[in-house]
Structure 1
Amino acid sequence: MAKTLFHDGTVWPGAQTTTADALLVVDGVITALGDDAREAAGDGPDVLRVDLEGGFLMPSFGDGHAHPLLGGLEFVGPAVRPCTSVDEIVEAVRRFAKDNPDEEWIVGASYDGSLAEGGLFDARWLDDAVSDRPVVLRAWDYHTVWCNSVALERAGITADTPDPVLGEIPHREDGSVLGTLREWGAVDLVTAVMPARDEDVRIAALGTAADYYLSRGVTWVQDAWVEPADVDTYLEAARRGALRMRFNLALYADPRHFDAQLHDFSMAKRRVEQLDSPMLTAHTVKFFADGVVENETGALLEPYCTGLHEHGMTVWEGDSLSEAVRQVDDLGLQIHIHAIGDAAVRQALDAIEYAAEWNGPRDRRPVIAHAQLVDDADLERFAALGVIPNMQPLWAQQDALMTVLTIPRLGQERTDRQYRMRSLESSGAALAFGSDWPVSSGAPLDGIAIAVSRQTTEGEPAGGWMPDEILTVERSLTAYTEAVAAQAYGEDTWGRLVPGASADLVWLDRDPRETPARELPGITVRATYVRGEPAFGTS
């Protein structure tokens, strides 16, 4: 038997438990803590001893809402994410095009949407960099793309092209197409004519995503937008033994094609189960109830202050979301709904309530992701319906995205009702965390730093934004560990350091519970373990 004894540090099993100073792992399973661990390990040479050097050993993190395949693919195209101006983005695209003359399409992500007024970017800016090949860049919200003129031509988008269902094509004052496409109805016009990525490139992107996550202490990720080709990629990666961490797939439900998708959902789940990989599951279906506030497509109960899109975009009209959720729930699949605006959150709660009433009680663990705005009347409904609010703590700060794009659209009163994490948690809801990477940082400690301070990296505002919504460090750690494990139906396997659990661990160089909020992102991940084996770092 393979035995590993971790010792001489703080072992944190999880919230509301007593810390220990040692932990024993046998064949990838936690068997004992503290004195029991040292006694069971004995003094024999067959035990690998890991000196924690006064560090902090805790359950590895889980990310309850992210897009790992998209995140990995960002590293394949031009590096536009670090750019702080339109000129920098254009130059990055120019360099990439020069260095990759054989690339038929130049595809990249994810630029800062606040760098142009109203988030509107002009195709002619990209034409200056590349005029002979299509260029398509995704914004960091992943609900928007910026194209050059060749890409628009390939997609057949002209001044006469009407706005598609679930999409918008902005125009210049002279009526010509600007070059920014909003929401997937418009984005699909371009992606439909783009060549598919090579499968080896896509599998390598999953490896890049694993490198990213494991170096940040994350061992399980909910891929929150999976299409049929993505299922094939994950399955092939699993067959090749290329999945180095755990993934669950949320299969994308599209209102334009939903009737044809139900059978595909069942088949995808069956294919993953037949493969029987310990690193891959597919028991979830992802719905979009709305878009995002920054595009004024998040669905609101009251109109936007700017009024461009009035109440925003409702993806599923009338009772169609409730009926679709009921049918997916009837298949025994988990519901996962993107809902940003308060109207979308209410529609999502209504749909989950309808499915539960229709199909009867079961352990369904439905998820509403983001919940940026929740009306007072709906706060208590999360706990009452057993809905998990999976929230992105990194977003609960007054950064450039908030001040430039969000606040002008919501106004001050609604601005100060965003990301009510503590209110939901205090109501009894099973608050869990996710990052939405690559939309924003996938490092849990980055998000936890905001959850416990509600401040920017500069420490603004003093005392925190909406200080009543600040969470404790332990509660924030739990939201990124045990709570995500429960969302994943994995609480008996990982998320806490208890005998019988898989040894999915992260070793930090210091105790986050005793670290000031602004210093949390600077904590070093010394090592990450999956089933007792080092997946990142050295020991």
Structure 2
Amino acid sequence: MAITLFRNGTIWICASEPTESALLIHDGVIAALGDEALAMAAEHAETVEVDLDGGFLMPSFGDGHAHPMLGGLEYVGPAVRPCDSVEEIVAEVRKFAEANPDEEWIVGASYNGSLAENSLFDARWLDEAVPDRPVALRAWDYHTMWVNSVALERAGITPETPDPVIGEIPHREDGSVLGTLREWGAVDLVAAVMPERDEDVRVAALGTAADYYLARGVTWVQDAWVEPADLETYLTAAQRDALRIRFNLALYADPRHFDSQLAGFADARRRVEEAGSPLLTAHTVKFFADGIVENETGAMLTPYCTGLHEHGMTVWEGDSLAQAARRVDELGFQIHIHAIGDAAVRQALDAIEYAIESNGPRDRRPVVAHVQLVDDADLERFAKLGVIPCMQPLWAQMDALMTVLTVPRLGVERADKQYRMRSLDESGAPLALGSDWPVSSGAPLDGIATGISRRTSDGEPEGGWTPEEALTIERALGAYTAGVAEQAFAENDWGRLIPGASADLVWLAGDPRETPASQLPDVVVRATYLRGELGYSVTP
């Protein structure tokens, strides 16, 4: 590999270091900075020079919590995400079905759950578009599915079907099944009868995800929900040399099957290690502690305001989460727990604390993802236990999802305590950021724009919603780079532009530190590099 010199721009090392004016890479590794980089470049006639043209070079971003397989597969089905009404969704499904008459099932994602009252969508609306084939659409929260009547029939869901464990089947007033399925216990009833995607389609979806991320400056992603079929796809992609960015797999722990899963986790990790891909690891096990606020399945210490559910849903009853966390911790896995409500966050912290007390000290870096609500009594526990809060800054805004679905369920006082990123950061917790793509945009600059302003893309509210929880731009950049690298046990490999680190870089057209928050999403990603190799570029 040629020696490459980057110059004529601002080179941002990390949040705690001064910027530099030049950077040299050799064989995919950062070799020198500043004057030393210029001197070394002058000694090598074969040096390739990249003129940054006044731009901003920084460590590439990591995404601490996402679902790349699901994101890639969204591009395979009907394009319902941009739709702004139920009517538009139905029209898009009809259009896709007519263009694909040989598709046995119409499968897509991810529709806007705030477009129907209480996020309840009727099967009969989809029947208008496709009456003769099953249709299954995921909501953008990926905790909810909307299906037509044929899909309900294929799944054997009738008015007499009881709510499954970890799931809910809403009914109409006359007792008939509505067509909305909440949480994976219910969703699995339909998923179990859906045909498997072709493996080539699934591998291509990972390629689509890689293209998406590279265009946004991201080179490492935590896949936060990996089931056995997903593992096989990742291994196939690794065998075909088709990954193109770094992935760490979080193997999904299901309380319904956990005892039988445990040995499989260790086997999956072994198989990934034996595959020998430098872009693929499987260090992590993923737990769900609860659901989501929009479905009133997020677990709360005090009741919801609207009365659909009282305290939400607890996925792992009693001390079962603590016992499961202890067992995966014994195997040396990193714990990664989805926790939305304050009761779920407390249960997650309790489980991690129990694993630490049971198994003794080691470098474990447990993660609690989302942390939408955290009780005051639990705020300091993150730093004390060394727990990484992996948060989604894009969610900290008063958008339709918040105003239509979330605030009415929580009440204003409790809603104003959501996404306490700055409080956690200032408490000493090792903050990392992520997107949860495709639940929401996977572009770090979109998330950072909201995280530092607490405003919508329209600039509302003026001054920001709960502005005391806004991050500074330096901390947001750091949490999306070095913070995620720490989560990945990779702080010496990437996340900072230091000699000896992998040359995982993103070149931005402008300096985000000097860009108004509202304009950050428009900052052009000029190029993204992984190990010094150009993964994405755009012509200036």
Q: Is TM > 0.5 for Structure 1 vs Structure 2?
A: yes
Q: CA deviation at 1:269?
A: 0.3
Quote the residue 2:188 is aligned against.
188
Matching residue's letter, 1:273: E
Matches within 5 A, 1:487-502: 487-502=487-502
Q: CA deviation at 1:64?
A: 0.2
**Residue 11 (structure 2) pairs with residue 24 (structure 1):** no
The alignment partner of 1:369 has SS state of: strand
1:249-268: CA deviation from partner (whole Å, max 9, x where unpaired): 00000000000000000000
The alignment partner of 2:353 has SS state of: helix
Quote the residue 2:438 is aligned against.
438
The alignment partner of 1:88 has SS state of: helix
Matches within 5 A, 1:71-110: 71-110=71-110
In structure 1, C-alpha distance between the alignment counterparts of 2:21 and 2:152, rounded to whole Å: 60
In structure 2, C-alpha distance between the alignment counterparts of 1:75 and 1:470, rounded to whole Å: 33
In structure 1, C-alpha distance between the alignment counterparts of 2:467 and 2:243, rounded to whole Å: 40
The alignment partner of 1:7 has SS state of: strand
In structure 1, C-alpha distance between the alignment counterparts of 2:538 and 2:246, rounded to whole Å: 20
Quote the residue 1:129 is aligned against.
129
Gaps of 5+ in 2: none
Quote the residue 1:456 is aligned against.
456
In structure 1, C-alpha distance between the alignment counterparts of 2:43 and 2:166, rounded to whole Å: 65
In structure 1, C-alpha distance between the alignment counterparts of 2:224 and 2:16, rounded to whole Å: 30
Matching residue's letter, 1:245: I
Q: CA deviation at 1:16?
A: 1.2
In structure 2, C-alpha distance between the alignment counterparts of 1:15 and 1:474, rounded to whole Å: 6
Quote the residue 2:278 is aligned against.
278
Aligned residues: 539
Q: CA deviation at 1:462?
A: 1.2
The alignment partner of 1:9 has SS state of: strand
**Residue 80 (structure 2) pairs with residue 111 (structure 1):** no
The alignment partner of 1:205 has SS state of: helix
The alignment partner of 1:39 has SS state of: helix
1:297-322: CA deviation from partner (whole Å, max 9, x where unpaired): 00000000012110000000000000
Q: CA deviation at 1:172?
A: 0.5
The alignment partner of 1:461 has SS state of: coil
Matches within 5 A, 1:214-229: 214-229=214-229
In structure 2, C-alpha distance between the alignment counterparts of 1:2 and 1:495, rounded to whole Å: 22
Quote the residue 1:260 is aligned against.
260
Matches within 5 A, 1:128-277: 128-277=128-277
- Contact 2:505 2:528 (C-alpha < 8 Å) held by counterparts: yes
Quote the residue 1:408 is aligned against.
408
Matches within 5 A, 1:458-497: 458-497=458-497
The alignment partner of 1:62 has SS state of: strand
Q: CA deviation at 1:42?
A: 1.0
Q: CA deviation at 1:43?
A: 6.0
The alignment partner of 2:286 has SS state of: strand
The alignment partner of 1:465 has SS state of: coil
In structure 2, C-alpha distance between the alignment counterparts of 1:78 and 1:308, rounded to whole Å: 31
**Residue 71 (structure 2) pairs with residue 64 (structure 1):** no
The alignment partner of 2:62 has SS state of: strand
**Residue 366 (structure 2) pairs with residue 346 (structure 1):** no
Quote the residue 2:305 is aligned against.
305
**Residue 364 (structure 2) pairs with residue 364 (structure 1):** yes
Q: CA deviation at 1:45?
A: 3.7
- 4+ residue runs over 2 A deviation: none
In structure 2, C-alpha distance between the alignment counterparts of 1:43 and 1:53, rounded to whole Å: 23
Quote the residue 1:374 is aligned against.
374
1:218-277: CA deviation from partner (whole Å, max 9, x where unpaired): 000000000001000000000000010000000000000000000000000000011111
1:272-301: CA deviation from partner (whole Å, max 9, x where unpaired): 011111100001000000000000000000
Quote the residue 2:385 is aligned against.
385
The alignment partner of 2:153 has SS state of: helix
Quote the residue 2:2 is aligned against.
2
The alignment partner of 1:54 has SS state of: coil
The alignment partner of 1:141 has SS state of: coil
Quote the residue 2:47 is aligned against.
47
In structure 2, C-alpha distance between the alignment counterparts of 1:453 and 1:57, rounded to whole Å: 23
Quote the residue 2:526 is aligned against.
526
In structure 1, C-alpha distance between the alignment counterparts of 2:267 and 2:499, rounded to whole Å: 36
In structure 1, C-alpha distance between the alignment counterparts of 2:538 and 2:169, rounded to whole Å: 50
In structure 1, C-alpha distance between the alignment counterparts of 2:211 and 2:336, rounded to whole Å: 26
Matching residue's letter, 1:184: W
In structure 2, C-alpha distance between the alignment counterparts of 1:496 and 1:105, rounded to whole Å: 46
In structure 1, C-alpha distance between the alignment counterparts of 2:427 and 2:15, rounded to whole Å: 18
In structure 2, C-alpha distance between the alignment counterparts of 1:88 and 1:148, rounded to whole Å: 16
Q: CA deviation at 1:458?
A: 1.1
- Contact 2:525 2:538 (C-alpha < 8 Å) held by counterparts: no
In structure 1, C-alpha distance between the alignment counterparts of 2:442 and 2:121, rounded to whole Å: 26
Q: CA deviation at 1:44?
A: 4.4
In structure 1, C-alpha distance between the alignment counterparts of 2:332 and 2:48, rounded to whole Å: 43
Quote the residue 1:423 is aligned against.
423
The alignment partner of 1:232 has SS state of: helix
Give the TM-score taking structure 2 as reference length. Answer: 0.99
- Contact 2:136 2:146 (C-alpha < 8 Å) held by counterparts: yes
Q: CA deviation at 1:372?
A: 0.2
The alignment partner of 1:304 has SS state of: coil
Q: CA deviation at 1:538?
A: 5.2
Gaps of 5+ in 1: none
In structure 1, C-alpha distance between the alignment counterparts of 2:202 and 2:214, rounded to whole Å: 18
Q: CA deviation at 1:449?
A: 0.3
